[in-house]
Amino acid sequence: MQGAVVPSTLTRRQEAAELGVFLLLIVPSLVFSFVDAGGSAVSFPIAAVATIIRDAGLVALVLLLIARDRQPIAAIGWVRRDIGRDALIGLALSIPLFIGAQVLEAILRAAGLSSPSSTPGLTPRGAGEIVLALVLVLVVAVAEETIFRGYLILRLASVLGDRRWAVIGSSVIFAIGHGYEGGAAVITIGVIGLVFALVYVWRRSVVAPIVMHLVFDLVAIVVAPLLTP
């Protein structure tokens, strides 16, 4: 079963309407991240639980929309074939992508783009919060790859009639949600999202992008705070 090529039972107009409603649900909150770029005093548990609930709800909505369209979950990249191989590919690609992302963000900072010294609300302290952080990075990796790579690329490709624009569009929408991290991070995350999308299209599975996303968030949210005095 090939994840991105299952035919839809909806007309293009129906798909466009569905996509528009979905974007109306997620884009305003993503854009608001730019307003909150200075950071707000939200505790890690509150931020983590809110994010977990939001992402789980969005995945449930995606699954409902896919079921309504009578498409299998393979249509959004949830496939069982080559899981081990795709996981290894994701892990192997994480290393050069992580290094490249750090270099790119450093160049963008040197060029004058903003980047806060820390991510507001996403710094766990203590054993309990670290366990919550591990749950958070797992849920976010699975949910966001399902949403931004699986669902959005599927629908954008059908509505726009061109998978290349679908890949670019999904990557831009993904980047918008990181406005709180500053301009340098937004561009860097857009590039990371583009790589995730290309890997997804290549493998026709969300497994490798999920592993890559998991590695990035694990380092940023769990490992880095533990190494910071």
The DSSP line for 15-48 is: HHHHHHHHHHHHHHHHHHHHHTTT-----HHHHH
User: Is 43's pLDDT higher than 90?
Assistant: no
How far is Cα 205 from Cα 212, in angstroms, rounded to an integer?
13
User: Is 40's pLDDT higher than 60?
Assistant: no
Angle, alpha carbons 127-56-154 (nearest 5°)? 130
pTM, two decimals, is 0.90
| Alpha helices for the chain (secondary structure H) | 12-35, 44-68, 83-110, 127-144, 152-160, 163-176, 183-203, 207-217, 224-227
User: Is 32's pLDDT higher than 80?
Assistant: no
User: Is 9's pLDDT higher than 90?
Assistant: no
Q: What is the mean pLDDT of the chain?
A: 88
User: Is 145's pLDDT higher than 50?
Assistant: yes
Q: What is the pLDDT of residues 65-78, one digit of tens each?
A: 999 989 999 999 99
User: Is 229's pLDDT higher than 70?
Assistant: no
How far is Cα 106 from Cα 104, in angstroms, rounded to an integer?
5
Position 2 scores a pLDDT of: 42
Position 196 scores a pLDDT of: 98
Q: What percent of the chain has pLDDT over 90?
A: 68
Cβ contact 179:33 at 8 Å: yes
Position 180 scores a pLDDT of: 73
Position 1 scores a pLDDT of: 36
How far is Cα 196 from Cα 208, in angstroms, rounded to an integer?
8
Angle, alpha carbons 148-149-153 (nearest 5°)? 95
Those residues with Cβ within 8 angstroms of residue 25's Cβ, 6 or more apart along the chain or in another chain:
58, 61
**DSSP summary character for residue 145:** I
CA distances from 36 to 31, 33, 94, 131, 207 (A): 9, 5, 29, 26, 31
Q: How confident is the model at residue 35 (pLDDT cuts 50, 70, 90)?
A: low
* Span 202-209, average pLDDT: 97
How far is Cα 94 from Cα 167, in angstroms, rounded to an integer?
19
* Span 125-130, average pLDDT: 90
Q: Domain spans of the chain?
A: 43-71+81-227
User: Is 63's pLDDT higher than 90?
Assistant: yes
**DSSP summary character for residue 6:** P
Position 122 scores a pLDDT of: 66
User: Is 91's pLDDT higher than 80?
Assistant: yes
Position 164 scores a pLDDT of: 95
Q: How confident is the model at residue 125 (pLDDT cuts 50, 70, 90)?
A: confident
Q: How confident is the model at residue 204 (pLDDT cuts 50, 70, 90)?
A: very high
Cβ contact 217:141 at 8 Å: yes
